[in-house]
Amino acid sequence: MNATPRWLNPEQQAAWDGFIRMQEKLIGRLSRRVQADSHMSPADYIVLAKLTEAGGRMRFMDLTKLVEWEKSRMSHQVARMAKRGLVGKEDCPDDGRGAFIVATPAGREAIEEAAPVHVEHVRRLFIDALTQEELDALGRISNRVLAHLEKQPD
Amino acid sequence: MNATPRWLNPEQQAAWDGFIRMQEKLIGRLSRRVQADSHMSPADYIVLAKLTEAGGRMRFMDLTKLVEWEKSRMSHQVARMAKRGLVGKEDCPDDGRGAFIVATPAGREAIEEAAPVHVEHVRRLFIDALTQEELDALGRISNRVLAHLEKQPD
DNA sequence: AGGCCATGGTTGACGCATCAACCACCCGTG
DNA sequence: CACGGGTGGTTGATGCGTCAACCATGGCCT
Closest alpha carbon within chain B to A127 = B12
Closest alpha carbon within chain B to A30 = B154
A92 CB neighbours strand C below 7 A: yes
B49–chain A nearest CA distance, Å:
14
User: CATH classification of B31-151 is 1.10.10.10, yes or no?
Assistant: yes
Query: For A14-52, what is the HEC assignment?
Result: HHHHHHHHHHHHHHHHHHHHHHHHHCCCHHHHHHHHHHH
> Residue B97 CA to nucleotide D6 C1', Å?
13
Residues A63-83 have a mean pLDDT of 97
CA distance A21 to B113: 24
- Nearest 5 degrees, angle CA A58-CA A60-CA A64? 105
**Residue extents of the structural domains in chain A:** 33-151
Quickly state the pLDDT bin for A6 (edges 50, 70, 90): confident
Q: Which residues contact B119 (CB under 8 A, 6 or more apart)?
A: A5, A6, A7, A8
> Using an 8 Å Cβ cutoff, are B103 and B44 in contact?
no
Q: What CATH number is given for A33-151 in this structure?
A: 1.10.10.10
Q: What pLDDT sits at residue A5?
A: 61
Q: Model confidence over B60-74: pLDDT tens digits?
A: 999 999 999 999 999
Q: Model confidence over A101-122: pLDDT tens digits?
A: 999 999 999 999 999 999 999 9
A92–chain B nearest CA distance, Å:
31
Q: What pLDDT sits at residue B5?
A: 60
Q: What is the DSSP string of chain B?
A: --SS--PPPHHHHHHHHHHHHHHHHHHHHHHHHHHHHHS--HHHHHHHHHHHHTTSEEEHHHHHHHTT--HHHHHHHHHHHHHTTSEEEEE-SS-TT-EEEEE-HHHHHHHHHHHHHHHHHHHHHTGGGS-HHHHHHHHHHHHHHHHHHHHS--
CA distance B132 to A12: 8
Residue B84 reports pLDDT greater than 50: yes
Q: Model confidence over A8-27: pLDDT tens digits?
A: 999 999 999 999 999 999 99
Q: What pLDDT sits at residue B2?
A: 47
